[in-house]
Chain A
Amino acid sequence: MEFVNERDSYPDLRVDIGGLSLRNPVMTASGTFGYAREFENLVNLHRLGGVIVKGISLRPRAGNPPQRIVETPCGMLNAIGLQNVGVERFIAEKMKYLKGIDVPVIVNILGDTVDEYRMLTERLRGVEGIAALEVNISCPNVKRGGVAFGTVPSMAAAVTEAVKKAADVPVIVKLSPNVNDIGEMARAVESAGADSISLINTLIGMAIDVERRKPVLANVIGGLSGPAIKPVALRMVYQAAGSVNIPVIGIGGIETTGDALEFLLAGATAIQVGTANFINPRVSEELVDGIGEYVKSHKLNSVRELIGALEF
């Protein structure tokens, strides 16, 4: 060890997610952490491995009408409808703050067509302060009858390729869990050039108000997140990690240090915390501490020894 810096080097929590080094494996998931500034008084942002900001599209989107969210057993459904300020305002207004914070900022992007993903990526090229892109492919492809990009391997690969070609930073492709064979999907985006993959995005679900006999969400269906989806997410991360050679980032219902460690053992190199931020805004930082404690108490040389270290 060349130097001992308490924060960075002991315990050694550094991980590498496909061309991007993180000081620890804990990041915050897109759509659950705003544009980071919302949390600046609650979390020491510089202690996190990375922050992923709310999904950005080429043009601003108003999102879905109310009601957009509903609590479900150990989870919640959301149909926000990808509300965002659009890439121009994002660069003009949000990046000013984001480029000044001492934590890798990963920009989550989405589009209706492959072309839109490409143009968005081109617009973000060279923008100071962006450490990586995360490509949300759980969006409907309007040119293919609204089928989500992330449910057809060839479409997922096409988006990945277009973004990868235009990007000047590492590209993480965020997989949808609403597929039959997650391994096949993971391989498709790996072959198309993805530097890493993250999963899972929300599972599609629904809730009904029996008194009104109406769907609770205006959008009828929404994405399920929170502790309820953790076992499914863990299984998919395990299968995806077994199918590709690029790093895998685990997401889905992570709330405690134990949850995060499960994902690392299943093969994830890093993790993202989503819904748990709403319940405990400090949770991400607490997970950094918790993982550090585990590494120390188990006398590991680094957190990297845990990745995929599941024993049978």
Chain B
Amino acid sequence: MSQHQEKARIIRFEQLSELNVRITLDAPLIAASADAGQFVMIRTGSGQDPLLRRPFSLHQTSSSGYIQIYFKNVGRGTHILAHTKVGELLDVFGPLGRGFRFARDRAACLVGGGLGIAPMLFLAKKIASSSRDHGRDLIILGGRSREDVEPLVEDFKEFGLALRCATDDGSFGIKGLVTDLVKSEHLTRDTVVYGCGPENMLEALNRFCRSRGIACQVSVESVMACGMGACLGCNIDAAQGDYLHVCIDGPVFNTEDLAWNS
């Protein structure tokens, strides 16, 4: 495992909607070793409050040594990050966790809901750059309304994979849920579904995939202190009764390894 603690300069700052921000950071060591679905822990300030780092999925990396995060301003830490400026340094630690296990020989269906779109760009890039037929690969993006989805669509389009969108209010793509789109797509049994998004979306995705016998990997969240297996604070219920730890066993899990409420 190669993890790095880098003082990363902010190269670009994009306010993609009122609360959603994308930051590009110069973090060559992390960029060089990261995989789709992995995450980084970022210090939002330099003082003691907020104390802990915050976890963010890697949105994208580039061969020029840049990494991107895409996040929503939901609380104190993300508020500070949402008010940073180009040129400032952020303390970034990563890459961390186990990412998506991309099945090269099987069709891929990527499902990103809301901020769950974040890791999907990295995965889409990886899939698009693998030499194989992409005729059956599909990306499905969704959110509450236009501003959650539209600003990211151009980046996904670049890869030339099929793309469908849905919003709760119908302001962009179809009106409905991403899982409605998944259901209408006649996925074959050899498809692998890769999902990230709010808990109820992941539950619906799990229910659907299980009923069709389709393999499904999801990226999940938990509170975290260390992000590297040292504190044991990030446990979630495992299918077999015991616990799994999101930061080292995940954040990407096969849905059958997790315990689901429904």
Does B243 lie within 8 Å of A31, measured CB to CB?
no
Bound Cα distance A279, B228 (Å): 11
Q: Say whether B231 contacts A69, CB under 8 Å.
A: yes
A172 within 8 A of B: no
Instruction: Knowing A62-B243, A71-B50, A74-B48, say if A281 contacts B228 (CB, 8 Å).
Output: yes
**B52 A67 Cβ-Cβ under 8 A:** no
- Interface majority SS on B: helix, strand, loop or mixed? loop
Q: For the complex, is A80 an interface residue (Cβ under 8 Å from B)?
A: yes
Is there an interface contact between A68 and B235, defined as CB atoms closer than 8 Å?
yes
Q: A32-B231, A67-B223, A71-B50 are in contact. List 18 more A-B contacts (CB 8 A).
A: A34-B228, A38-B230, A63-B232, A63-B235, A68-B232, A69-B224, A70-B223, A71-B223, A71-B225, A74-B49, A76-B52, A83-B232, A255-B48, A275-B51, A277-B230, A278-B52, A278-B231, A280-B91
A71 touches B51 (CB 8 A): yes
Residues of A within 8 A of B93 (CB): 281
Q: CB within 8 Å of A: which of B131-189?
A: none
Interface residues of A in 43-102 (CB under 8 A from B): 54, 62-63, 65-71, 73-76, 78, 80, 83
- Once the chains bind, are A277 and B226 in contact (CB under 8 Å)? yes
- Chain B residues with CB under 8 A of A73: 49
| Residues of chain B contacted by A63 (CB below 8 angstroms) | 232, 235, 243
- Where the two chains meet, the residues of B that have a C-beta atom closer than 8 Å to any C-beta of A are 1-3, 5, 43, 48-53, 91, 93, 222-226, 228-237, 242-243
Interface SS majority for chain A: loop
Q: How many residues of A contact B (CB 8 A)?
A: 35
Q: Does A14 contact B (CB under 8 A)?
A: no
Contacts of A83 in B (CB 8 A): 232, 235, 243
Give Cα distance in the complex from A278 to B236, angstroms. 20
Q: Contact check: which of B91, B223, B228, B243 meets A69 at CB < 8 Å? A: B223
* Chain A residues positioned under 8 Å from B222 (CB to CB): 66-67
Do A227 and B48 contact each other (CB < 8 Å), given the known contacts A38-B228, A69-B225, A76-B225? Answer: yes
Q: Which residue of A lies closest to B54 (CB)?
A: A71
